[in-house]
């Protein structure tokens, strides 16, 4: 067979490479705790999956596609640095076992495993996720939401804010954007999903932004470069397994994610709504394909 075509493993390894800049930036801004997260989730995720598939199939073939390390890396960068290892193991187990292997392994899962792991940990251990506050004073997303009548320019003086987005996060987002553009350039990631997510998030933010009055909810630029926006747009929304295949459905899927991120960020109880936005869109993907996928 033609050796020039990438196989599943190549795709996963390249996705891993594309995550390197984001990890480098996160480690620089948030400390080596990010790498501790990575080590713990990687070890736990791979070991759990290997144990599971060995128990079921008596072979390790299902682990060799290198998809689990990518899932684990996405969890590791999404959670606060130096999170309790027990929670990391829990998140990895939820991702690999509950979200992937229970459904029958790679290709058959409905939900993005990394987001299931992250969301499960966030819901089960909310206190530990408040640790972001310890590190940055207050995450910018929270600071912007609970600011009691101050204008955007006034809160911008707080240490939680950076040049255009949240302090530190803006650099991580820029790094993730670079990795994501690489993935799109080599055609591993479908460019429609990130474009749709970012456009929709930007449009929602533009509608809610009136040049920084006290009622204003953050500029498009702020939303693009805060939290996990770029990771979600380029690495999570583009997961081929859990996104639709029809082009029209892909646009709708991306737009839904962007709008949901904005809504949860602005009006919800969680600091960053990415995981829930993605999971809700995942839920709609099969129906979208059923309605729109035609040869």
List interacting residues with other proteins (CB under 8 A).
1-2, 5-8, 10-11, 61, 65, 105-108, 190, 240-241, 245, 293-295
- Asked if 242 and 112 touch (Cβ cutoff 8 Å), the reply is yes
- Please report how many Cα atoms fall inside a 13 Å half-sphere around the Cα of residue 82, on the Cβ side: 9
CB atoms within 10 A of CB 277: 27
- Rounded CA-CA distance 143/251 in Å is 31
- Asked if 183 and 191 touch (Cβ cutoff 8 Å), the reply is no
Separation of CA 168 from chain center:
17
Q: How far is the CB of 64 from other proteins (least distance, A)?
A: 8
Question: In this complex, which beta carbon is closest to other proteins, that of residue 61 or of residue 148?
Answer: 61
Separation of CA 243 from chain center:
14
- Rounded CA-CA distance 262/275 in Å is 12
Question: In this complex, which beta carbon is closest to other proteins, that of residue 105 or of residue 162?
Answer: 105
Cα three-residue angle 260-140-158, rounded to 5 degrees: 155
Residue whose C-alpha is closest to residue 117's, from 146, 83, 76? 76
Question: In this complex, which beta carbon is closest to other proteins, that of residue 25 or of residue 189?
Answer: 189
Question: In this complex, which beta carbon is closest to other proteins, that of residue 190 or of residue 200?
Answer: 190
Q: How far is the CB of 46 from other proteins (least distance, A)?
A: 17
Residue whose C-alpha is closest to residue 252's, from 202, 288, 287, 207? 288
Q: How far is the CB of 93 from other proteins (least distance, A)?
A: 21
CA dihedral for 36, 39, 42, 44, sign (positive or negative): negative
Q: How far is the CB of 185 from other proteins (least distance, A)?
A: 16
- Rounded CA-CA distance 248/23 in Å is 33
Q: How far is the CB of 187 from other proteins (least distance, A)?
A: 8
Distances in Å between the Cα of 130 and the Cα atoms of 136, 137, 261 are 11, 11, 19
Question: In this complex, which beta carbon is closest to other proteins, that of residue 67 or of residue 219?
Answer: 67
Q: How far is the CB of 293 from other proteins (least distance, A)?
A: 7
Question: In this complex, which beta carbon is closest to other proteins, that of residue 6 or of residue 199?
Answer: 6
Question: In this complex, which beta carbon is closest to other proteins, that of residue 213 or of residue 245?
Answer: 245
Q: How far is the CB of 66 from other proteins (least distance, A)?
A: 11
């Amino acid at each position: 067979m033609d050796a020039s075509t990438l196989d599943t493993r190549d795709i996963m390894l390249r996705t891993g490479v594309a995550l390197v800049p984001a990890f480098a930036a996160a480690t620089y801004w948030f400390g080596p705790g990010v790498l501790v997260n990575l080590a713990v989730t990687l070890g736990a995720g791979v070991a759990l999956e290997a144990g599971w598939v060995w128990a079921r199939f008596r072979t390790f073939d299902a682990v060799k596609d290198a998809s689990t390390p990518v899932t684990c890396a996405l969890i590791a960068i999404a959670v606060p640095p130096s999170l309790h290892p027990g929670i990391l193991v829990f998140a990895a187990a939820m991702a690999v076992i509950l979200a992937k292997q229970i459904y029958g392994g790679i290709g058959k899962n409905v939900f993005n495993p990394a987001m299931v792991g992250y969301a499960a940990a966030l819901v089960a251990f909310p206190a530990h996720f408040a640790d972001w506050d310890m590190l940055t004073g207050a995450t910018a997303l929270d600071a912007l939401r609970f600011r009691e009548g101050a204008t955007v320019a006034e809160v911008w003086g707080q240490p939680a804010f950076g040049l255009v987005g949240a302090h530190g996060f803006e650099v991580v987002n820029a790094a993730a954007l670079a990795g994501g553009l690489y993935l799109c350039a080599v055609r591993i990631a479908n460019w429609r999903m990130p474009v749709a997510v970012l456009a929709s998030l930007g449009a929602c933010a533009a509608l809610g932004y009136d040049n920084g009055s006290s009622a204003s909810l953050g500029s498009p630029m702020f939303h693009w470069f805060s939290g996990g926006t770029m990771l979600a747009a380029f690495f999570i929304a583009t997961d081929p397994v859990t996104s639709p295949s029809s082009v029209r459905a892909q646009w709708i899927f991306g737009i839904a994610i962007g709008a949901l991120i904005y809504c949860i960020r602005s009006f919800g109880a969680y600091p960053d709504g990415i995981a829930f936005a993605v999971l809700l869109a995942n839920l709609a993907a099969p129906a979208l394909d059923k309605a729109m996928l035609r040869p």
